[in-house]
Chains A and B, each alone.
Chain A
Amino acid sequence: MKTMTIQTKLKQLQTAFDQDLQTITNLEQLEIVRTKYLSKKHGLTIKLLKRLPQLSLIEKKQYGPMLNQFKRFQESKLNQLKLQLQNQTNLDFDLTLPQAPANLGRLHPTTQVIEEINQFFRYYGFSIGEGPEIETIDYNFRKLNLPEGHPATDLQDSLFIKEPNLLLRTQTSSIEARILTQYEPPMRVVAPGVCYRNETVNATNAAFFFQYQGFVVEKGITIQHLKGILTKLHQFLFGQDVKLRFRYKYYPEVSPGMGVDMQCRFCHGKGCPVCKHRGWIEVLGSGMIHFNTLKACGIDPEVYTGFAFGMGLDRLVMSKFGLTDIRKLYGGKLAYL
């Protein structure tokens, strides 16, 4: 009889609990229901559990787990419901109102572009090189096959600290000259850096600007390697379908020199205002490191050959981020929204 009673009682409790659950609409009612079944002294489920010790071993094995499971079921149901009800509590603010986006740590656009290009070259085993911004004529010009009186070394174009020997570097090639002098080949190096020119400042020309230099000196390097790495670089930066044009171009510190243009991505070579109706946009200057440059830096040009390239970064940065005035890029005028 007792066993029937327990089983019947359990069924009754299950039905009653289900019904009670339906009636709960707030936390107070929930606590009443909790007390009704689970109060340590008077809870109906607890009372039933308390009867277990009086049962026979077989009955204990049969009903013990059933009752305990029912108790856990009730607890979890009530806890679930409590969470739901808590979340429904009235808030004293309006969740529909949109908020300003959370602040985000940000890199300067030029740093982003430098890191992107560095990433490419690091993959190909390039080191990153640095050199001083206050530089000697020797590293800025002479070692780069730019003798005194060469038009590219015009005093007017450089910012001098002390004429005629100390100036602010006008090109990142000076870093190349330093590293070629300091280290033994083989070497693969890229050098992003600030350069200075005595420019009348306008939206596209600044006295303070960034260049990105790269060079390789090893046995067996040919102009084909230069073409190869520059092709890969532009595919990395602009996609596989980028179209490049390689042409002869004179730069004093290289021979043979090579100019590289990218087909304008706006007009696909037809000519538009972006490419100044050329259909192509000049992206960088490059070439095989000049015999005289290697020699001036203490490297035997008959044994080692190398290539070098240099590009202005600011135009690339500006086009990537939709900026039109270089003065704003480094003039403290950028705000990251």
Chain B
Amino acid sequence: MKVPIQWLKDYLDIDKSPQEIADSFTSLGLMLDKPIENQVLDLEHRMDRSDWLSIIGCARDLAAFEQLKLKLPPFQTKPCLPSTEETLVNIRVETKLVRRFNTRVFKNIQVKPSPTWLKNRLEAYGIPSINNIVDITNFVMVEYGQPMHAQDLNKFDLREIVLRQAREGETITTLLGETVKLNPQAFVLSQNDKAIVIGGIVGGLKTGVTSKTTEIILDAGNYDQRAIRRISRQLKIQNETVARYDKFLHPKLTEVALNRATYLILKLAGGQCYQNIDYYPKPVPPQTKTLRLSRLKQISGLNFPLNKTKRILLDLDYQIVSETNDQLEVEIPYFRTDVQVEDDLVADILRINGYQKLPTSFLSSPPPIDITPSIYLFSQKLTQLLVAMGLHQHITESLVAKTDHQNQVVLANALTSEKSALRLSLIETLAQVSSTYQKHGLKNLGIFEIGFVYRQLKPNPQNLKDFQETRTLALLIANPTRSKLETSQQLRSYLSRIFQSLKLDPLYHRLSNSRVEIKIDSQSIGWLEFDRAEINLELLHQLANSFQFPLTSEVANLPKENLSLILNLDLEFGPILKQLQQALSPELQTLKVLEEYSDKNLNSQNQKSILLEISYASPKTMSKTRQKIITFFKKHQVFLKS
């Protein structure tokens, strides 16, 4: 909201500098949004206070804050002349979006340029001066926050305005000369069935006031703000009228604004004012609220004296209906459509008193029970482990392009096709980092992300239960430049460390030539390829023990030996080793793959070679155990290299 200082000073005597005034506004809820230019304050407006889109609304709160008197401008106090058959313009409302349509008719007016004071104020605000009538409607709109329309009655075919829903494809040329195509969501003011104004949004060219105008109908309407917001966005029209009509204005404001405009028109354009139809089928009664001093204390921690509380409320135009020692019943001023609950009155007291003045306190009660989910702490520890191994953590955006996967969660209103669905796999988005690393010359680095993947569980999901968000770990060797074997060994060593730390013994089961499934207790928890892996953390967390990092101060003096083995390239050796270990424990203590290679000679026979380190429980049983191992291997087509 733009507030020219000169205009503001029409309503209160304040001798502070523009910067000081801006500071006061900022404190009470209207933050200075941009640097002060040409003695105009640009204040940030929030959606609640429709009266803060008027200079008087801003001035009222400033006056209360500065403890100054608010001076309201003169308005028409005498009723206008009764309407006659000759002056009456019939109003018919055929849409539910109109809460009030308040009109007056002026005859014998003289349209001419506005006086300097009026021009100056409008121009300081940023509205160009047109003529006295148009300027007055604009001036009162900015002064009180109520948009108004003046239309040239001589351009009417019939003395009637019908407010109705627009028709599909109906067009109108606006005051700015633009032709707008309408749809039935919008409503119009129509004249002889032709749209002359887009209701609550913009006036039409056809009935606009010009220098030749002598007779006008002036209207101030009150409409469903949600509809105005919807329609204006649809039509992509944003202006001063829309900015006010898409907020919650009170229907009573139409009277106040019309009285002020009438005063100015009669003064600046002469002529006579006639009453006309005021469509207001459901008058809104005044609202009251009770403020308990105990509530004020409960929220603020302060004892506000009754007098001070009353003074602030009265300054803000609340009326005291009744009072006792510990509570006030007040009538809410009509323009305060934002007040919902007692605490909103508390807010008024505190902000007019000044937030900076509030003391600070510290939480002093004992901390409540910790409700942090254990999986959050688990993920945190896992992150620490991965970082300790030298991996880089990344966070990638979960929005991806839509595919035809039946489980993919697709957005209903995405802005772009690249971001029209949620990822099904974490690797999918993490993999982008690899090319970034390549550009920076970083290679063979382990990277990871802990994030969510999303699935819909049914083809036509109806509620939250039909969706699943799964916390997932993705691991990737970014920009691998070494052999696939070496890259995969790096990746597999990370996995081994994770599982060792969690005291888990996974089974790697081959799904295809390039992909392996990771199973724990016969439950699949993820997969790995030579340079990447993905693990379901919800499952891992359920299966895992607490993190443990084995250490010892003793050297185990177990007898050890290395066995060199030859086996077929496509043999799944991992599960065989696991079986062996289970079968021969404890006489067989540990098994460690030292090397894994397939040299050319072997490869021609479709074979590979593995160097295995074996440690035995005791020297005495060593040779027996070795024999068992060899027998076991033979059974699985694994042979000792001679």
Using CB atoms and an 8 Å cutoff, list the residues of chain A in contact with chain B: 103-108, 110-111, 124-130, 132-136, 145, 149-152, 154-156, 159-163, 165-166, 168, 179, 183, 185-189, 194, 196, 198-201, 206-208, 216, 218, 220, 222-225, 227-229, 231-232, 245-250, 252, 255-259, 271, 276-278, 288, 290-292, 305, 329-337
Contact = CB atoms under 8 A, between A and B. Distances in A.
A305 B299 contact: yes
A332 B398 CA distance: 11
Interface string B284-300: 00000000000000111
B585 to A, nearest CB: 34
Contact of B368 (A187, A220, A329, A332): A187
Given A133-B452, A334-B436, A271 B411 contact: no
Contacts of A162: 412, 461-462
Contacts of A216: 363
A196 B47 CA distance: 21
Nearest to A219: B365
A42 B414 CA distance: 93
A337 B398 contact: no
A194 B453 CA distance: 13
Interface string B46-68: 11110000000000000000000
A154 B356 contact: no
Interface string B436-462: 110110100100000010100000011
A337 B461 CA distance: 44
Contact of B351 (A156, A245, A248, A277): A248
B13 interface: no
A332 B350 contact: no
Categorize the interface residue count of chain B.
Answer: 35 or more
A290 B341 contact: yes
A161 B363 CA distance: 40
Contact of A332 (B26, B344, B432): B432
Contacts of B389: 105
Contacts of B464: 132, 134-136, 166
Contacts of B367: 124-126, 188
B399 interface: yes
Given A134-B469, A186-B368, A105 B390 contact: yes
7 contacts: A134-B464, A155-B413, A228-B360, A247-B28, A247-B351, A249-B29, A334-B394
Contacts of B350: 223, 248, 256
B347 A255 contact: yes
Contacts of B397: 206-208, 330-331
B398 A208 contact: yes
Nearest to B461: A162
Interface in B115-151: none
Given A130-B373, A160-B411, A277-B34, 11 more contacts: A132-B464, A136-B463, A151-B47, A152-B47, A163-B413, A189-B371, A222-B361, A223-B299, A228-B363, A248-B351, A250-B48
Interface stretch (B268-276, B380-388, B496-504, B619-627): B380-388
A257 B372 CA distance: 27
B325 interface: no
A291 B343 contact: yes
B178 interface: no
Most buried by A among B351, B360, B389, B396: B360
Nearest to B295: A302
A103 B395 CA distance: 19
Contacts of B226: 149
Contact of B363 (A179, A188, A207): A188
A246 to B, nearest CB: 4
Contacts of B559: none
Contact of B46 (A183, A249, A271): A249
Contacts of B49: 250
A292 B340 contact: yes
Given A108-B395, A218-B365, A227 B358 contact: yes
A255 B396 contact: no
B376 interface: yes
A292 B360 contact: no
B370 interface: yes
Contacts of A224: 300-302, 358-361
A85 to B, nearest CB: 31
B387 A332 contact: no
